[in-house]
C-alpha cells in the first residue's frame, strides 16, 4: 500500500497516478473535501483553469483502489522495520495506518512579515482571505487592500473583487521589470501569458489599479499606510499614503510545510531564496527509503509544478514508467518556478518595518524589542537561543509563522547571515499536530 498525505494538487495527482496500475492508495487529508489549500475544498472550484480540479476530483473519487480518509490530522510518523506507520487524529480519536510506501504532499502556507499592526484584527494573509471566501463563502471585508509580493496576489485580488469586495489597492513590492532577468522562463512557459491576460482582464473589469514598489507599512484600527520601498524593501518614508480600509491581505510568498518530512528524517536543504525545502531525486524520492515528496515542500513552484511532481511521485512509488515528456514538462515548470523566486524575492529591508513594540511571535506575544534585548543583553545568536530567552516560536504554531523571521531579525542584529543549519534545524517539530495527553497515553503498547 501507498499512503499519500495531502489532497492538494500534488497529493491528488500522486494518488491518481499511483492508482492507474491498481496500486492500493490511502489518501489522508486534514480537510473535509478534496483540493488542499489551492483548490479550497469546494465541489465546484472557480478561477483560472479550475476544470482541472474537477477532473482530478472525479478521477480520485471513482478510482476503486483509492481510499480517501478526510478530516484526519497526522500528528506523527514512525518507522516499524520496513513499514511506515502514520498516526492520525480523526473525530476525537487516534488511528494508525501502515504501509510500505509514503508520498508526502503537505504543501505550503503563506509567509508573513511583521509590520506595525500585522497582528491586528482585519490584517490577514491572502491565503486566509481566499480560504474564507472559497472555503466558507465569507467575504473578509467590504473594502480590501491586497499587498505583498508574488503572482498569488492576482487570484486573491480578483477573486475578492468577483465576490463583491471593493479592492481599493493592489500593491506589489517589486517592479515587474524583474521578469526581464528570466527571459528563458517566459519562453518555456508561453501559456503563462494567457493566465496573465486572464487576470489583466479581471483587473481592468473591476477597476483595480495595481501599483508596484509599494508595501503596507502600517495597519491601525482600519487605517492602512502604504509606503514606497526601494529594491531592497527599505521604506521611503516621505512617500506614504494613509486611508481607511476594512481588511489588508498581505503575503510574502510561501513557506513549505516541512513538519512531516522532518519527522521521517528526510534530508532538507536551503533553496536559492532562503526557503528550507526537501531534497528529492528525479523521481521525487527523498533521502529516506520509500518516502517520496511532491509539491511545494520540494520548492515553491505553484499548482502546475505540483501536479507534475505529484504524478511523477505516484508513478515512481507504484513502479510505473515515467515518460520523458512528463519529465520535460516538470523541467519547464521548474524553470518558471526559479524565475518566480528570482522575480519576487523577499529582501532584507523588511527588517526595518517593525517597531520595538511590534509583535514578532503572535502565539507567545513576543515583541521586536524583546528579541533585540535577548541579543544585546543575553547573548542570543540564533533563533534557538532567542526562542529560549523570549519564548518566540514556542506557542501553538511552533514557530511555523515566526521562526524564519526571528532567525533573520537576529542575524540582522548580530550582522551575520542565517546559516543553513539554523534554517534546517528550526523546522524540527516532532509533534506535528496537538494531541490530547489522554489519547497519547491510551496508545501506549
Partner 1 sequence: MQSPDAIVIGAGIVGASSALSLTNAGLKVLVIDRGAVSSGTTGAGEGNILVSDKDPGPELTLALRSRDLWFEMQDDVGDSFELEAKGGVVVARHDDGPLLKLAAEQSQHGVTTQKLNQSSLHELEPYLHPDFHSGVFYPQDAQCQPMLAAAQVIRTVIARGGAFISQAKVTRIVVENGAVAGIETSKGVFRAPIIINATGTWAGELAQMAGSHLPIAPRKGFILVTEPTKKYVFHKVYDSDYVTNVASSDADLQTSTVVEGTRSGTILIGASRERIGFDGSMNYEILRRLAAQATSLFPVLRDVQLLRAYRGFRPYAPDHLPVIGEDSKVRGLWHSAGHEGAGIGLAPGSAALITDAILGRESFMDGSPFSPHRFATVSL
Would you count residue 412 as binding partner 1 (CB under 8 A)? Answer: no
CA–CA separation, 255 and 189 (whole Å): 24
**Contacting partner 1 (CB under 8 A), which of 380, 401, 402, 406?**
380
Q: How far is the CB of 438 from partner 1 (least distance, A)?
A: 3
Q: What is the x/- site pattern for partner 1, positions 59-98, by CB under 8 A?
A: -----------------x-x--------x-----------
Nearer to partner 1, 163 or 439 (CB): 439
CA–CA separation, 192 and 376 (whole Å): 48
Q: How far is the CB of 354 from partner 1 (least distance, A)?
A: 23
Would you count residue 431 as binding partner 1 (CB under 8 A)? Answer: yes
Q: Edge-to-edge strands of the sheet including 235-244?
A: 214-220, 223-229, 235-244
How many residues line the site for partner 1 (CB under 8 A)? 35
Would you count residue 415 as binding partner 1 (CB under 8 A)? Answer: no
The alpha carbon torsion through 121, 122, 128, 132 (nearest 10 deg) reads 100
Binding segment for partner 1 among 165-173, 228-236, 286-294, 432-440 (CB under 8 A)? 432-440
Would you count residue 423 as binding partner 1 (CB under 8 A)? Answer: no
Would you count residue 385 as binding partner 1 (CB under 8 A)? Answer: yes
Instruction: Give phi and psi for 354, each to the nearest 5.
Output: -75, 150
CA–CA separation, 418 and 412 (whole Å): 9
Would you count residue 326 as binding partner 1 (CB under 8 A)? Answer: no
Q: Which three cell numbers stand for residue 231?
A: 529594491
Would you count residue 22 as binding partner 1 (CB under 8 A)? Answer: no
Considering only residues 346-365, where is the footprint of partner 1 by CB under 8 A? 364
**Contacting partner 1 (CB under 8 A), which of 193, 378, 417, 420?**
378
CB atoms within 10 A of CB 186: 16
Query: Alpha-carbon Rg of the chain, whole angstroms?
Result: 22
CB atoms within 10 A of CB 24: 15
Q: What is the x/- site pattern for partner 1, positions 196-225, by CB under 8 A?
A: ------------------------------
Nearer to partner 1, 183 or 379 (CB): 379
Q: How far is the CB of 77 from partner 1 (least distance, A)?
A: 9
Q: How far is the CB of 391 from partner 1 (least distance, A)?
A: 7
Nearer to partner 1, 181 or 436 (CB): 436
Would you count residue 436 as binding partner 1 (CB under 8 A)? Answer: yes
Instruction: Give me the count of residues in the chain.
Output: 445
Q: How far is the CB of 361 from partner 1 (least distance, A)?
A: 12
Task: List the one residue out of 368, 412, 415 whose CA is nearest residue 390.
Answer: 368
Q: 102 - beta bridge partners?
A: 3, 291
Element (H, E) at 269: strand 268-270
* DSSP symbol at 132: I
Would you count residue 381 as binding partner 1 (CB under 8 A)? Answer: yes
Would you count residue 430 as binding partner 1 (CB under 8 A)? Answer: yes
CA–CA separation, 260 and 242 (whole Å): 42
3-state secondary structure of 250: strand
Residue 286 CA to its chain's centroid (Å): 19
Binding segment for partner 1 among 135-143, 268-276, 289-297, 394-402 (CB under 8 A)? 394-402
**Contacting partner 1 (CB under 8 A), which of 206, 348, 391, 424?**
391
Sign of torsion, CA 326 331 336 337?
positive
Binding segment for partner 1 among 103-111, 150-158, 353-361, 391-399 (CB under 8 A)? 391-399
CB atoms within 10 A of CB 142: 12
Q: 96 - beta bridge partners?
A: 87
Considering only residues 248-307, where is the footprint of partner 1 by CB under 8 A? 263, 265
Sign of torsion, CA 170 172 177 183?
negative
Residues that bind partner 1 (CB under 8 A): 76, 78, 87, 263, 265, 364, 377-382, 384-385, 388-389, 391, 394-396, 398, 429-431, 434-438, 440-445
Amino acid at each position: 500500500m501507498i499512503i499519500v498525505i495531502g489532497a492538494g494538487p500534488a497529493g491528488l495527482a500522486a494518488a491518481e497516478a499511483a492508482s492507474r496500475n491498481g496500486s492500493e492508495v490511502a489518501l489522508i487529508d486534514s480537510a473535509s473535501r478534496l483540493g488542499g489549500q489551492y483548490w479550497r475544498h469546494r465541489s465546484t472550484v472557480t478561477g483560472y483553469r479550475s476544470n482541472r480540479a474537477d477532473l482530478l476530483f472525479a478521477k480520485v473519487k471513482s478510482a476503486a483502489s483509492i481510499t480517501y480518509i478526510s478530516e484526519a490530522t497526522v500528528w506523527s510518523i514512525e518507522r516499524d522495520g520496513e513499514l511506515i506507520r502514520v498516526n492520525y487524529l480523526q473525530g476525537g480519536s487516534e488511528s494508525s495506518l501502515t504501509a510500505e510506501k509514503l508520498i508526502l504532499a503537505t504543501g505550503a502556507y503563506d509567509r508573513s512579515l511583521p509590520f506595525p499592526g500585522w497582528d491586528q484584527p482585519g490584517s490577514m494573509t491572502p491565503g486566509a482571505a481566499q480560504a474564507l471566501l472559497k472555503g466558507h463563502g465569507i467575504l473578509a471585508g467590504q473594502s480590501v487592500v491586497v499587498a505583498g509580493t508574488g503572482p498569488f496576489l492576482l487570484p486573491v485580488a480578483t477573486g475578492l473583487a468577483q465576490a463583491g469586495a471593493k479592492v481599493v489597492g493592489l500593491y506589489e513590492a517589486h517592479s515587474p521589470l524583474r521578469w526581464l532577468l528570466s527571459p528563458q522562463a517566459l519562453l518555456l512557459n508561453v501559456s503563462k501569458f494567457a493566465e496573465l491576460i486572464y487576470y489583466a482582464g479581471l483587473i481592468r473589469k473591476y477597476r483595480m489599479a495595481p501599483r508596484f514598489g509599494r508595501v503596507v507599512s502600517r495597519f491601525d484600527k482600519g487605517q492602512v499606510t502604504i509606503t514606497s520601498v526601494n529594491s531592497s524593501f527599505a521604506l521611503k518614508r516621505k512617500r506614504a499614503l494613509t486611508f481607511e480600509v476594512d481588511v489588508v491581505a498581505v503575503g510574502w510568498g510561501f513557506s513549505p510545510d516541512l513538519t512531516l518530512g522532518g519527522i521521517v528524517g528526510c534530508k532538507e536543504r536551503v533553496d536559492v531564496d532562503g526557503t528550507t525545502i526537501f531534497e528529492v531525486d528525479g523521481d521525487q524520492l527523498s533521502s529516506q527509503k520509500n518516502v517520496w515528496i511532491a509539491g511545494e515542500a520540494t520548492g515553491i513552484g505553484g499548482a502546475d509544478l505540483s501536479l507534475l511532481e505529484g504524478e511523477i511521485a505516484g508513478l515512481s512509488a507504484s513502479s510505473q514508467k515515467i515518460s520523458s515528456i512528463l519529465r520535460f514538462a516538470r523541467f519547464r515548470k521548474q524553470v518558471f518556478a526559479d524565475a518566480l523566486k528570482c522575480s519576487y524575492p523577499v529582501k532584507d529591508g523588511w527588517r526595518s518595518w517593525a517597531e520595538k513594540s511590534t509583535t514578532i511571535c503572535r502565539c507567545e506575544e513576543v515583541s521586536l524589542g524583546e528579541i533585540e534585548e535577548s541579543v544585546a543583553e543575553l547573548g542570543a545568536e540564533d533563533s534557538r537561543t532567542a526562542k529560549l530567552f523570549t519564548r518566540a516560536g514556542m506557542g501553538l504554531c511552533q514557530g511555523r509563522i515566526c521562526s524564519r523571521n526571528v532567525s533573520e531579525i537576529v542575524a540582522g542584529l548580530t550582522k551575520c547571515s542565517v546559516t543553513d543549519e539554523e534554517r534546517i534545524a528550526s523546522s524540527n517539530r516532532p509533534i506535528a499536530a496537538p494531541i490530547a495527553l489522554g489519547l497519547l497515553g491510551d496508545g501506549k503498547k
